[in-house]
Amino acid sequence: MKKAKVAIFGASGYSGEELVKRLSEHPLVELCCLTSRQYAGKKASEVFAWIGRRSPLANLEFIEPDVPSLAPLGIEFAFLALPHGVASEFAVPLLESGIRTLDLSADFRVKDPEVYKYFYHHEHPAPDLLRKSVYGLPEAYRDEIRSARLVACPGCYPTSILIPLLPLIRAKVIRLSSVIVNSLSGVSGAGRKAERDLLFVECNESARPYGLPSHRHLSEIEQELSNAAGESVIIQFAPHLIPLNRGIATTIHADPVTKVAVESLSEVYESAYGSEWFIRLLGSNRYPDIKNVVGTNRLEIAWRVDPRTGRIILMSAEDNLVKGAAGQAIQCFNIMNGWDEALGLGM
Amino acid sequence: MKKAKVAIFGASGYSGEELVKRLSEHPLVELCCLTSRQYAGKKASEVFAWIGRRSPLANLEFIEPDVPSLAPLGIEFAFLALPHGVASEFAVPLLESGIRTLDLSADFRVKDPEVYKYFYHHEHPAPDLLRKSVYGLPEAYRDEIRSARLVACPGCYPTSILIPLLPLIRAKVIRLSSVIVNSLSGVSGAGRKAERDLLFVECNESARPYGLPSHRHLSEIEQELSNAAGESVIIQFAPHLIPLNRGIATTIHADPVTKVAVESLSEVYESAYGSEWFIRLLGSNRYPDIKNVVGTNRLEIAWRVDPRTGRIILMSAEDNLVKGAAGQAIQCFNIMNGWDEALGLGM
Amino acid sequence: MKKAKVAIFGASGYSGEELVKRLSEHPLVELCCLTSRQYAGKKASEVFAWIGRRSPLANLEFIEPDVPSLAPLGIEFAFLALPHGVASEFAVPLLESGIRTLDLSADFRVKDPEVYKYFYHHEHPAPDLLRKSVYGLPEAYRDEIRSARLVACPGCYPTSILIPLLPLIRAKVIRLSSVIVNSLSGVSGAGRKAERDLLFVECNESARPYGLPSHRHLSEIEQELSNAAGESVIIQFAPHLIPLNRGIATTIHADPVTKVAVESLSEVYESAYGSEWFIRLLGSNRYPDIKNVVGTNRLEIAWRVDPRTGRIILMSAEDNLVKGAAGQAIQCFNIMNGWDEALGLGM
Amino acid sequence: MKKAKVAIFGASGYSGEELVKRLSEHPLVELCCLTSRQYAGKKASEVFAWIGRRSPLANLEFIEPDVPSLAPLGIEFAFLALPHGVASEFAVPLLESGIRTLDLSADFRVKDPEVYKYFYHHEHPAPDLLRKSVYGLPEAYRDEIRSARLVACPGCYPTSILIPLLPLIRAKVIRLSSVIVNSLSGVSGAGRKAERDLLFVECNESARPYGLPSHRHLSEIEQELSNAAGESVIIQFAPHLIPLNRGIATTIHADPVTKVAVESLSEVYESAYGSEWFIRLLGSNRYPDIKNVVGTNRLEIAWRVDPRTGRIILMSAEDNLVKGAAGQAIQCFNIMNGWDEALGLGM
């Protein structure tokens, strides 16, 4: 099969590095271009110590991000692992050049520019594109992704929250105003920023809530929950930083609309995800654990009904850099190409 | 001032070791006796590598736990850091011998033997004593502790949950059925048990919920919340294991009875805990962090009101082995002696 | 190409699990059989939570280890990830059944039964087989491995020590009596044993030397160094346990026979390993780092000559469970089959 | 007893924070002044989240470092926890103002300005003061410290290396050219610098050598070893960074001048340190472990003689921020005041 020519913009952050690693091993990808303002002119192998001299990446150099100069390379797909607000700058000319674009930032996830402004505190830089972007959650938008020219890949928290919640929302099992979400994230979720709060000594032997009560990811979570519900949904979300490199564990509490048996939850999930390659249903006896999904594109879900309170409890675990970022983007990319969704994503 | 003669039963677990360390440095304690079935006959300094040769513990030996044989030692206070179900065996003869007892196990925390049976899956071994025991939460029962002969020291999770919740429950601010608690615990909370699930490799780079939906600590939490509310309270509680040695971070969500301003929460807390030595009120802008309380007997509380949902969010952090176990027991012990509550507990 | 039928004995330890994971993804392996006394009768997916329902392992069950009962399965290769002393029990009948065997234990690494006895404190159980086994270090014994029927895969420390030292020993650069080795190992190196010293709380925030001065791995290290030198070599070796899951970092000090320039070391290494797929030469400016090799079958080497002392300093890093165990065994297995050495081993 | 009035310069780094914590609890210290360019004008309790509202520090503010403005405060002692090269700027006016100064930087440790220049790559800024400073290792220079006006507190690595080596060097047991040192340091040793290499994700699950072969601390280590030997000593030193917050574990290899029995090492140590409060002799069977000294001012030493090689192996462990920095400085300060050396330093 013909390989796709791919560029990665902003390849030096954690999500970018994960994209580089995985796309360089993808059997149908020709990785043609890595951009980085910080490292332009440097060899990728100087920046990423894991690149061996026999790797296809051994001789690739970082270049300045500049869309027109890419024209001669024949790039067909661009992955943007740029900071929020910067990605949209590049998406516009990329799309105009006919390059299908997968954006890992938050720039095109939220459809409503007003909601974007409320959570991101500035006007959306390219509101026209919002209508054209497809939210890159394959388990929800597989058909739309297939033909999308601009995929807005979901955030790490939203993925861990939406995948367990959407089927129950669609099945009208859950009382919409009752959803309370607690998430625990590894430190790579905060990005590769040289900030004092992210130093080893500050994070190790530490655990702390943050971003309460209005974390930015709520904008896309509530948008998608509202779409599934057919009415506006507002939830409670408490993120926490815990001392591990990768992974998100999410625990969700919600009231059922009417008394519900755990078996009926199992049916909803089996029906929704029974044939999903990357969703692992743990049922009502096992627990998800970050260590079982790290390095994979899998998301685990378990569920309970509390006999004392009647409440539904959902739990999920994922690798924030894989199913929560780079892996999910590659899953979308495979879909856009009509390929096996798991290509280059391991077991 | 005259020193108190003290024995520690079951001194080889994490809470027991913390008691040994702190009581050996307590200015008004004469640590006369350490019991351990496993280590009877061994010197404490062989088991606890941190004991220096100039420590008062340098020559202390572990002995078999046997109440009658303690008589000649003139012990006045016994701390029990024994497993649940074992502590009550020793509490009976200790109290009969006139020794005031501080039990760190769950044996005497729950007043109702039926509740005990529901959560601990066996009959209570000494139901008569339940009436006599005082729940050792100084911020709630200081007066009762003063004259108590048997103090049932609270569990680590309950301390981190009750201290933030009790003032709001008493002030009728919170809708009782709406309380949802998520807690993150360091691995020492699971005890010093040679179990595969607690190995370094199994816990490091792992985070997982467990004990859902009916963790045993709910029995004492709901008892104390119900006492404060004057009616029965049932809550939701989701504990998680995270990869650090010590500490519990708790995040609580609850609906207010009527719309509430964050300032009024601040007033309730200031009034409840403004003069408490070991409670640190962080207010509505800062976040608690395990690393700021590890090694101390302090518990931090912060609070928010979500303008979007109206919900109240409470956050706390403590060291599970200090304010959640040994430190709180020593705080009670100081109260029982009429001493400065902070004696031997540092800043 | 025809797939090889493979059995893994003792599949539930850390090395065994790594074998299961990697062999199940190996394109030319049919994983037919997993044995485990502890888990016989259980599905692999119950024991290894990372096995998804679409994995080829989804329906594989652990069975009792019993060589005769394997006959009908047509097994061609057996990997033994059994404890030292147990592996040899199974190697004998396996070889008699014509099954080529890769042993990850120490049972067949040491050629001299007297040396074995000195370091392992008991008689060797199958001294006849010692002559037949091949030491499974591809970078040293590739030709012998190709036709071997019994491969004794090296220990994790020995791999990290021998690969940097052998070329310099062969080139007569190093004064043999001067070799001093310090190694740091992640906790998985100690195995999946439910021992108190390996608990999370005992290893986290801890670092300690152990096994001094006569760690068992010295037997194979010195055997191989002596073979390379053509005379008896005795070295100094100090292993340490550090708080990470996987990885070994080794630092070696040695006097040169005569004053040596760092460039000549570079030449020796380039000549010895310039075409090795899994050896990464970092030269005299960069440092190896465990995080750059974890999850890979690569071993990194860097070198220095101290201008003040004239001494040579060698540094290496590897993943103890991959290049130090399962990965190296699979590399040998590929060689035994005449396949690409990197098959199933990633980049 | 009269309290000493104390100022801390550069109080916001890890050593500075440890000084603040411990001096604020020291029974004979009045902590009058904290300086920090970064935080001048802020309350200490805003910067250090562990400061409770009842702490003596609750109302202390950071001020700009400015010696003349301190005059009215009556400061008698200044601790300098400033970066190398900056400390000397302040030491000069402090000493001129009659303030006894304990410098935790490297500025006054090395007596020979040429050696300083070789290792620190610039001229010494105040060479006159080098003659006046006393190297603040109480176990070696207790008498000189007593009357010193300027104490140059040793580095963290030097403390962990000198304390085990000095007695054997003085006793002429060790062949001087044979000393090879490997040390493992927790990440706080690198300081509270917002650098990418010190981020949690870069250090966790990582271990790496660095600073080879000429780490700056060699200057003071070799100076002190040479003083003890009465001739020039040059050693080999390999530091490593490992993923824990605090602590240094050091392993030293050395040849004996003539064959030596382990008992004679024990005698040397007993004689040298038998009455030292903060040195813990573990003998020839036990191992030091960072976790047993963290938070204390103790240094543990163990020793072996390898029967196969005849070599001596020494091992030590300390908390790099306590015995390796702030604790040792306070020990010196107590000596300068003629007080109990352990005052404010716990067990």
Say whether residue D346 is in contact with chain B using an 8 A CB cutoff. yes
Q: Most A CBs within 10 Å: which of B201, B202, B236, B285, as the mutation test of the A interface?
A: B236
Percent of chain B with pLDDT over 90: 88
For residue D242, what are its two tokens? Answer: 């490992």
Going by C-alpha positions, the residue among D345, D334, D342, D297 that lies closest to residue D145 is D334
Give me the pLDDT at residue C70, please: 82
| Residue A71 neighbours by CB distance under 10 Å | 11
Q: Average pLDDT in the C146-162 region?
A: 97
What pLDDT, on the 0 to 100 scale, is given for residue B346? 78
Q: Which of A262, A289, A300 to mutate to test the interface with B (most CBs of B within 10 A)?
A: A289
Is A3 at the interface with chain D, CB within 8 A?
A: no
Residue pLDDT, tens place only, C312-347 = 999 999 999 999 999 999 999 999 999 999 999 976
Pairwise CB contact (< 8 Å): A53 & C298: no
**CB under 8 Å to C158, separation ≥6 — which residues?**
C109, C217, C220, C221, C224
More confident residue, B51 or B202: B202
Least CB–CB distance from C236: residue in D184, D253, D291: D253
Task: Report the 3 state secondary structure along B172-189.
Answer: CCECHHHCEEEEEECHHH
Q: Is the pLDDT of residue A318 over 80?
A: yes
User: Which among D103, D95, D29 has a CA at the least distance from the CA of D339?
Assistant: D29
Q: How far apart are CA A346 and CA C52, in angstroms?
A: 11
Lowest mean pLDDT among B343-347, C279-283, D71-75: B343-347
C-alpha to C-alpha distance for D201 and A187, rounded to whole angstroms: 7
Question: Strand locations in chain D, DSSP E?
Answer: 4-9, 29-35, 62-63, 77-80, 100-103, 134-135, 150-152, 180-185, 208-209, 236-241, 248-254, 279-283, 299-305, 312-318
Tokens at residue A44, please?
A: 């990728």
* Residue C52 predicted with pLDDT over 80: no
What band does A342 get if pLDDT is binned at 50, 70 and 90? very high
Task: Inform me whether the pLDDT recorded for A53 exceeds 80.
Answer: no
- DSSP structural state of residue B199: B
C54 vs D137: which has the higher pLDDT:
D137
Cβ atoms within 10 Å, residue D143: 11
Subunit contact B25:D347, Cβ cutoff 8 A:
yes
Which residue of C205, C237, C241 to mutate against D (max D Cβ within 10 Å)? C205
Q: What is the pLDDT of residues D65-124, one digit of tens each?
A: 988 888 788 999 999 999 988 999 999 999 999 999 999 999 999 999 999 999 999 999
Closest Cα to residue C101, out of C90, C116, C115, C86? C90
What's the CA gap between D143 and D140, in Å, rounded?
A: 9
pLDDT at D347 over 70: no
- Could you tell me whether strands A134-135 and A150-152 are parallel, antiparallel, or unpaired per DSSP bridges? parallel
Helix, coil or strand: residue C22: helix
Which residues of D participate in catalysis according to the annotation? Answer: 156
Q: Quick check: B287 and A315 CB within 8 A?
A: no
Tell me what pLDDT residue B184 has.
98
Query: Does the beta carbon of D305 lie under 8 angstroms from any beta carbon of chain A?
Result: no
Main-chain phi, psi angles of A199, to 5 degrees = -65, 155
D231 touches chain B (CB under 8 A): no
Q: What phi and psi, each to the nearest 5 degrees, are found at residue D213?
A: -100, 5
Mean pLDDT of C75-83: 95
Is A202's Cβ below 8 Å from some Cβ in D? yes
Tell me which chains share at least 3 CB pairs under 8 Å with chain A. Answer: B, C, D
Rounded mean pLDDT of A62-73? Answer: 87
Does residue C53 register a pLDDT over 80? no
Q: Which chain A residues are Cβ-neighbours of D200 within 8 angstroms? A: 187, 198-200, 202-204, 243, 245
pLDDT band at D271; cut points 50, 70, 90: very high
B58-97 pLDDT tens trace: 889 999 998 888 878 899 999 999 998 899 999 999 999 9
Q: Within 10 Å of residue D1's Cβ, how many Cβ atoms?
A: 8
> Binning pLDDT at 50, 70 and 90, where does residue B347 land?
low
> Dihedral, CA atoms, A288, A293, A294, A295, nearest 10 degrees?
-170
CA angle, residues D87, D89, D91, in degrees to nearest 5: 65
Q: Is the pTM of this model over 0.90?
A: yes
pLDDT one-digit tens code per residue, D273-318: 999 999 999 999 999 999 999 999 999 999 999 999 999 999 999 9
What does chain C come to in residues?
A: 347
Strand partners, D254: D312
Nearest-10 Cα torsion for B48, B49, B53, B54 = -70
pLDDT tens digits for range C245-270: 999 999 999 999 999 999 999 999 99
C204–B244: do the CB atoms touch at under 8 Å? yes
Per the CB < 8 A criterion, the answer to whether D201 and A187 are in contact is: yes
Q: Which helix (H) or strand (E) holds C273?
A: helix C262-273
Instruction: Give me the total of CB pairs closer than 8 Å, taking one residue from chain A and one from chain C.
Output: 34
Closest by Cβ to D205, choosing from B205, B277, B295: B205
Alpha carbon D9 to chain centroid distance?
Answer: 16
- Per-residue exposure over C260-297, b if at least 16 CB sit within 10 Å of its own CB, e if not: beeeebeebbeebbeebbbbbbbeeeebbbbbbbbbbb
d(CA C254, CA D154): 29
| Confidence label for C56 from pLDDT (cuts 50, 70 and 90) | confident
- Kindly report, residue by residue over D119-167, the tens digit of the pLDDT: 999 999 899 899 999 999 999 999 999 999 999 999 999 999 999 999 9
pLDDT at B11: 83
Which residues between 113 and 142 in chain D have a beta carbon less than 8 angstroms from any beta carbon of chain C?
Answer: none
For C92, counting Cβ atoms within 10 Å of its Cβ (0-12 exposed, 13-18 middle, 19+ buried), the class is middle
C332 a catalytic residue: no
Closest to B36 (Cα-Cα) out of B72, B100, B95, B86: B86
pLDDT tens sequence across B287-322? 999 999 999 999 999 999 999 999 999 999 999 999
Q: How confident is the model at residue D62 (pLDDT cuts 50, 70, 90)?
A: very high
Which residues of A are less than 8 Å from D14 in CB distance? Answer: 201
Cβ within 8 Å of residue A143, ≥6 positions away:
none
Q: What is the pLDDT of residue C347?
A: 60
